[in-house]
Amino acid sequence: MAESILGLLQLFFTFLQLAIFARVITSWVSPGHSNNPFITIIYQITEPLLSPLRKVIPRVGMFDFTPMVAIIVLSLIQSILS
């Protein structure tokens, strides 16, 4: 039972990491929020995680390191859980 819950949590964190990565890639390809439903869903999934981090981590020029920090934090949580 505990193994299946840990497996689901691992899958959830992996999904979040992939969603953040997809958001970064789409921001390079089509900057700004487009009307594409896929991009809208990706933003809706990732924004609750990235928004609080943006309040703590300042932008450095054009670069937003928030997605990288979020992926690292999610990876650390995954490592702790396993």
The H or E element spanning position 57 is none
**Domain ranges for the chain:** 2-81
pLDDT tens, 27-54? 888 776 678 888 889 999 999 999 999 9
pLDDT tens, 65-75? 999 999 999 99
**What is the value of pTM for the model shown?**
0.86
- 17 in Cβ contact with 79 (< 8 Å): no
Give whole-number Cα distances, 39 to 20, 23, 42, 67, in Å.
Answer: 11, 7, 5, 16
**DSSP secondary structure letter of residue 68:** H
Amino acid 33: pLDDT: 65
CA distance 22 to 26: 6
Amino acid 16: pLDDT: 96
